[in-house]
């Protein structure tokens, strides 16, 4: 058999260089590059291999292993899951730093290839640096922690194992239902061991990203359920985006007069229908909440139907039937829905035809009611974000300014804090911009790295705005250095409100306490809680020190100027906006289930519990 003598790591690099994805006739390099931080676990293995055989496999150097996984997630979102990045980490802490990234990938159904290094397979040196030494499971290493977080996990303890393992890893990466974190743990000694690598392993391969065809019986059943409904509502999730079914969704909504609310991952996909309710659920618009409360039939398309979307299963007060279109069978069966397991675009096309045959359409009265509800919501929201001239700006107003600065082809990235909810309510995609909101894991620290990933995937293809709070900035700003190295062009808008303010507001609502441990204040004397003066962090200086150009804004005019200036920077830019500490923009009014204290000696906490119990009365058991 024809072969080449290569180390395991060299064979992996050669293999990854020739993997492609194909969907709808479009071919992409599946692994667009490799990020890695070297340590003793991979410097002589994958590090050597990238140095010797890396021509055609771009290498990037991040500053934190968790961050590099988030960068890969931004990259794959920009590539609509047709390509991703590989991430190499040294053993021990380098590897475990990727765990949060793995969970973010799997929760969001986003493909990423993780290559954590592992302890010695041959065990000749005895216990090694950064080894866990599990007391009862002698073969366990820290990398076993990836198992529940990954959609595919394997450990390479002999070189030849990669021949069977890596094709499987590629299959899972490109499977629309199964994709997520794909982890191949590489023993540090094995990375450098050579073997006769069969040529067949190193040949070019194309992995088809399939559109699974829905079952015709399911389509007929679901068409009948929709045809029997008077007040149907579509929930459009990330699956619509990944299946590139936006046009089909909008056509469906328009043809049958069905309103659409979007999830975080689906934000923007219903752009173009007059019946767009905007973001829905707990942090969505009041319009989406009103229609969801009174809808009789819920049509979920590509949604994981999590608590923020369903208001912890309290919002569908009148719904008699649920249907769910999803490529993933488990999602399609949630809420006791009648399932359509398959590709969103194919399912919408088939349902469209079936409903057209039945001459289905909602009543004029329902459509008018939806339109009036949308207009009324916008009036309420716009009024609520109007600041007095002597006031600092609120987040709704700030998001509005970023929205107006954005142009067709631009992307806004958000994940945690106040920004995702505010973008859900306020961001208007009519300018042709896209929202990449990571709210499956809502991981603080995702945003700047993900913005870098989007910018790397879409060089010269529109501007990227990352919108974060000061808490998130403090958690993970260091990929700004990587962005400066790569001259990656994106603007991070840091909303400074001196704390974890969305949680402070949540704390107030669920415990009655004004602020316990959520603001960036100094401790006075031996006070139990942090109640002193705010710490005045110089975010602009911090960003400049890492290679970004930074701008500061206190007023709406300064913000517009800063955003315009940032757009022209060839590399990372940061706009620091000084915002008011407490938010007051109009919301959905919907409930969210939390573990609220059932017993307390504090009157304010007892009251918060009463409120909570009222909300819980609306929660439905849906199976």
Ligand X SMILES: Cc1ncc(C[n+]2csc(CCOP(=O)(O)OP(=O)(O)O)c2C)c(N)n1
Name the strand (E) or helix (H) holding 451: helix 447-457
Q: What is the residue whose two structure tokens read 């990423």?
A: 112
**Residue 504 CB, nearest approach to ligand X (Å):** 7
- Among positions 466-485, residues that touch Mg ion (CB under 5 A) are 469-471
The residues, ordered by sequence, that sit 6+ positions from 497 with a Cβ below 8 Å of its Cβ are: 395, 418, 469, 470, 579, 580, 581
**Residue 444 CB, nearest approach to ligand X (Å):** 4
For ligand X, which is the closer residue by CB, 177 or 466? 466
SS (H, E, C) 243-263: CCCHHHHHHHHHHHCCCEEEC
d(CA 322, CA 123): 55
For ligand X, which is the closer residue by CB, 418 or 491? 418
One symbol per residue from 434 to 453: x for binding ligand X (CB under 6 A), - otherwise; what is it?
--------xxxx--------
Size of site (CB under 5 A) for Mg ion? 5
- Name the residue with the smallest CB distance to Mg ion: 469
For ligand X, which is the closer residue by CB, 483 or 502? 502
**DSSP code per residue over 355-424:** HHHTT----HHHHHHHHHHHHHHHHHHHHHTPPPTTSPBPHHHHHHHHHHH--TT-EEEE-SSHHHHHHH
**Residue 537 CB, nearest approach to ligand X (Å):** 11
**Residue 456 CB, nearest approach to ligand X (Å):** 23
- Among positions 327-356, residues that touch ligand X (CB under 6 A) are none
Is 54 a residue that touches ligand X (CB under 6 A)? Answer: no
Q: Which stretch binds Mg ion (CB under 5 A): 44-52, 175-183, 492-500, 544-552?
A: 492-500
Tokens of 291: 């229609």
201: partner contacted, choices Mg ion, ligand X, none (Cβ within 5-8 A by kind): none
d(CA 146, CA 589): 38
444: partner contacted, choices Mg ion, ligand X, none (Cβ within 5-8 A by kind): ligand X
Distance of alpha carbon 346 from the chain centroid: 24
One symbol per residue from 363 to 402: x for binding ligand X (CB under 6 A), - otherwise; what is it?
----------------------------------------
Neighbours of 324 (CB within 10 A): 26
**Residue 438 CB, nearest approach to Mg ion (Å):** 17
**Residue 121 CB, nearest approach to ligand X (Å):** 33
Name the strand (E) or helix (H) holding 153: strand 152-156
Is 445 a residue that touches Mg ion (CB under 5 A)? Answer: no
Is 470 a residue that touches ligand X (CB under 6 A)? Answer: yes
For ligand X, which is the closer residue by CB, 71 or 442? 442
Q: What is the residue whose two structure tokens read 């590509």?
A: 302
Of the residues 502, 530, 543, 548, which one makes contact with ligand X according to CB under 6 A: 502
Of the residues 104, 179, 418, 542, which one makes contact with ligand X according to CB under 6 A: 418
Give the helix, strand, coil percentages of the chain, each rounded to 5: 40, 20, 40
For ligand X, which is the closer residue by CB, 411 or 416? 416
Q: What is the residue whose two structure tokens read 């040949």?
A: 203
The residues, ordered by sequence, that sit 6+ positions from 353 with a Cβ below 8 Å of its Cβ are: none
Name the strand (E) or helix (H) holding 492: strand 490-496
Is 497 a residue that touches Mg ion (CB under 5 A)? Answer: yes
Residues that bind ligand X (CB under 6 A): 416-418, 442-445, 468-472, 497, 499-503
Residues that bind Mg ion (CB under 5 A): 469-471, 497, 501
């Amino acid at each position: 058999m024809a072969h080449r003598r290569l180390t395991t790591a060299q064979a992996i690099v050669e293999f990854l260089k020739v993997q492609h994805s194909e969907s709808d006739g479009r071919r992409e390099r599946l692994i667009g590059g490799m990020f890695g931080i070297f340590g003793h676990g991979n410097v002589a293995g994958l590090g050597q291999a990238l140095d010797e055989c890396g021509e055609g496999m771009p290498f990037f150097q991040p500053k934190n292993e968790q961050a590099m996984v988030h960068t890969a997630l931004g990259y794959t979102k920009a590539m609509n899951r047709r390509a991703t990045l590989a991430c190499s980490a040294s053993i021990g802490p380098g590897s475990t730093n990727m765990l949060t990234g793995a969970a973010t990938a799997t929760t969001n159904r986003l493909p990423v290839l993780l290559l954590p290094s592992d302890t010695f397979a041959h065990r000749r040196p005895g216990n090694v640096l950064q080894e866990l030494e599990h007391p009862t499971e002698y073969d366990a290493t820290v990398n076993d922690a990836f198992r529940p977080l990954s959609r595919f996990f394997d450990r390479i303890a002999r070189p030849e194992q990669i021949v069977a393992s890596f094709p499987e890893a590629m299959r899972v990466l490109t499977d629309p239902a199964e994709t997520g974190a794909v982890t191949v743990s590489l023993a540090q000694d094995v990375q450098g061991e050579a073997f006769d690598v069969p040529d067949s392993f190193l040949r070019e391969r194309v992995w088809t990203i399939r559109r699974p065809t829905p079952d015709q019986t399911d389509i007929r059943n679901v068409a009948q359920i929709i045809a029997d409904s008077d007040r149907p509502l579509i929930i459009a999730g990330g699956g619509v985006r990944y299946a590139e079914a936006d046009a089909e969704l909008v056509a469906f909504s328009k043809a049958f007069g069905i309103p659409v609310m979007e999830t975080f991952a689906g934000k923007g996909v219903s752009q173009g229908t007059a019946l767009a309710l905007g973001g829905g659920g707990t942090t969505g618009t009041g319009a989406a909440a009103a229609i969801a409360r009174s809808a009789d039939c819920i049509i979920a398309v590509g949604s994981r139907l999590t608590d923020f979307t369903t208001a912890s299963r309290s919002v569908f007060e009148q719904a008699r039937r649920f249907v769910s279109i999803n490529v993933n069978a488990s999602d399609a069966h949630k809420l006791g829905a009648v399932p359509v397991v398959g590709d969103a675009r194919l399912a919408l096309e088939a349902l469209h035809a079936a409903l057209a045959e039945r001459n289905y359409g909602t009543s004029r009265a329902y459509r008018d009611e939806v339109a009036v509800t949308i207009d009324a919501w916008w009036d309420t929201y716009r009024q609520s974000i109007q600041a007095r001239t002597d006031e600092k700006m609120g987040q709704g107003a700030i998001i509005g300014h970023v929205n107006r600065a954005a142009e067709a082809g631009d992307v806004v990235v958000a994940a945690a804090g106040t920004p995702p909810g505010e973008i859900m309510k306020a961001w208007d995609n009519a300018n042709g911009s896209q929202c990449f909101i990571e709210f499956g894991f809502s991981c603080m620290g995702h945003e700047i790295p993900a913005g870098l990933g989007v910018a790397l995937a879409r060089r010269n293809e529109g501007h990227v705005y990352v919108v974060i709070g000061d808490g998130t900035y403090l958690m993970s700003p260091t990929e700004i250095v990587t962005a400066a190295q790569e001259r990656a062009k994106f603007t991070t808008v840091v909303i400074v409100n001196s704390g974890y303010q969305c949680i402070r507001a949540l704390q107030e609502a669920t415990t009655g306490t004004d602020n316990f441990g959520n603001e960036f204040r100094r401790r006075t004397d031996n006070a139990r809680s942090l109640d002193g003066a705010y710490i005045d962090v110089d975010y602009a200086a911090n960003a400049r020190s890492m290679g970004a150009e930074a701008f500061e804004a206190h007023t709406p005019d300064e913000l517009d100027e800063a955003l315009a200036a940032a757009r022209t920077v060839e590399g990372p830019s940061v706009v620091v906006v000084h915002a008011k500490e407490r938010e007051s923009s109009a919301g959905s009014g919907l409930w969210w289930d939390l573990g609220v204290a059932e017993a307390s000696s504090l009157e304010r906490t007892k009251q918060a519990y009463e409120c909570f119990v009222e909300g819980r009365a609306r929660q439905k058991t849906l199976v």
